[in-house]
Chains A and B, each alone.
Chain A
Amino acid sequence: MSGLARRAAAILWKDILSETRARQGFTAMLSFAALVLFMFGFAIGVDNDLLERLAGGLLWVAIIFTGTLSLGRTFQNEELAGGTRLLRLYPGDPRAIYLGKLAGNLVVLAALEIVLFPAAAILYRVDFAAQAGPLLLVAALGTFGFSVIGTFFSALTVHLRARELLLPLLLFPALVPVVLGSVGATDAFLAGDPLGRAGGWLRLLASYDVILFVVCVWIFPVVLEE
């Protein structure tokens, strides 16, 4: 197990290094996310009450749109340099590749959310800080579920023609329970959870996360076969 963790950490470190040396990717991602938030503002119009009520949903859609673009690059960068084949040649469990890439995506998405949550709070005039603790839990569970499926499908679609189209096509339907759970829990907490509904959404989110994590880790070696 420690071998698996060590290999995964090595891959994570390699990705963080290459990401921090060429920061353009992350900058472009942040700008895109900001644009999405603005687009919602334009589409809905200057109606602060409405924007405030929709904030949870809009924020999660912005995270998922931006995240999907970033997920597509997970294995694409490797593929361009022939890296997937080299990674496969290293001894040990190929699941380490999945876990390392998953951890990398979690880091990138966390960095994105650190900017996106305050930006949405300002633009849509919602007070995330008042419910910081519970919202952090929602963000963690939602981001984890998103990354688990996203990293997996990113590996699956990287060899396909039209992968930019196919990744969201496969990913979005599989994400629906994650979106429902995250948005439901976010909205419930923002409203102070008067009906006690947040717990149910969190349970849905957590159980879906666990199921998909187990399935994805289990069958990932099949995806990587040549």
Chain B
Amino acid sequence: MNKLTMLGWLAITLIAAGSVLGLAVLPADALQGEVQRLLYVHVPVAWVMMLAFFVVFLMSILYLVQRQLKWDLLAVSAAELGVLAAVLTLILGTLWGRPTWGIWWAWDPRITTTALLVPIYAGYLVVRSMTEDPERRARWASVIGLIAFVQVPIMYLSVFWWRSLHQPPSSPQSMWSAYGLVMLLGFVAYTLAFAYLWLRRYRLATTELELELSGPGEG
């Protein structure tokens, strides 16, 4: 078994362990009830979203500095995962919000700015799909990856700037320690899952690029 596959299995095992702990072992939250268990996924997935977009930002800068296509491929691999994580965060958030706040959707700064990240990075992916030349594609995508990231700190800080429905992050002091531990396990598990999927997607992207560069009829 190679290292990447091992990473994948490790991530799956930890996610399974976290799910069992979160769903069956820990008692339900006194105020929020069973639905609070969704947060063991919602929060780590939201973290993965920010991590993924930060990776896009970093890889975009590396590409612009070094002009090696591998950085661009690493960026797009993270961007796809970031969009996926953003959509998942929103779905889990609305599922939790309906019973807790009584509404599916609120015009809350944190929710709205998170939702906006989806079209921003979708734009990043669409621009890529419409540009044939790999160098140009990488260059334009890196520029968008760089500018788009301006929105991520705004999204994160929005709960502190505007007091609204979505709460600021909990701290270890504000949570029962067992909840905190399962949450921490979730962070580790989903981060590993991100790393695994990211590197997998990167391998695929490398192969795709090789095929593209070899031209039609030859590969």
Contact = CB atoms under 8 A, between A and B. Distances in A.
Interface string B94-121: 0000000000000000000100110110
Chain B contact residues: helix, strand, loop or mixed: helix
B164 interface: no
Interface residues of A, number: 24
Nearest to B132: A161
A212 B150 contact: yes
Contacts of B146: 215, 219
Interface of B: 64, 113, 116-117, 119-120, 122-123, 126-127, 130-131, 136, 139-140, 142-144, 146-148, 150-151, 154
25 contacts: A149-B147, A156-B140, A159-B136, A161-B130, A162-B130, A166-B126, A166-B130, A169-B119, A169-B126, A170-B127, A170-B144, A173-B117, A173-B120, A173-B123, A174-B147, A215-B150, A216-B147, A219-B64, A219-B146, A222-B64, A222-B139, A222-B142, A223-B139, A223-B140, A225-B139
Contacts of A160: 127, 130-131
A222 to B, nearest CB: 6
A199 B126 CA distance: 37
A176 interface: yes
A211 B151 CA distance: 11
B143 A222 contact: yes
Interface string A155-199: 011011110001001101110110000000000000000000000
A212 B139 CA distance: 19
Contacts of B119: 169, 172-173
The 9 A-B pairs of least Cβ separation, nearest first, read A173-B120, A169-B123, A170-B123, A173-B116, A161-B130, A173-B119, A160-B130, A219-B143, A222-B143
A176 B154 CA distance: 11
A225 B142 CA distance: 13
A173 B151 contact: yes
A43 to B, nearest CB: 19
B67 to A, nearest CB: 10
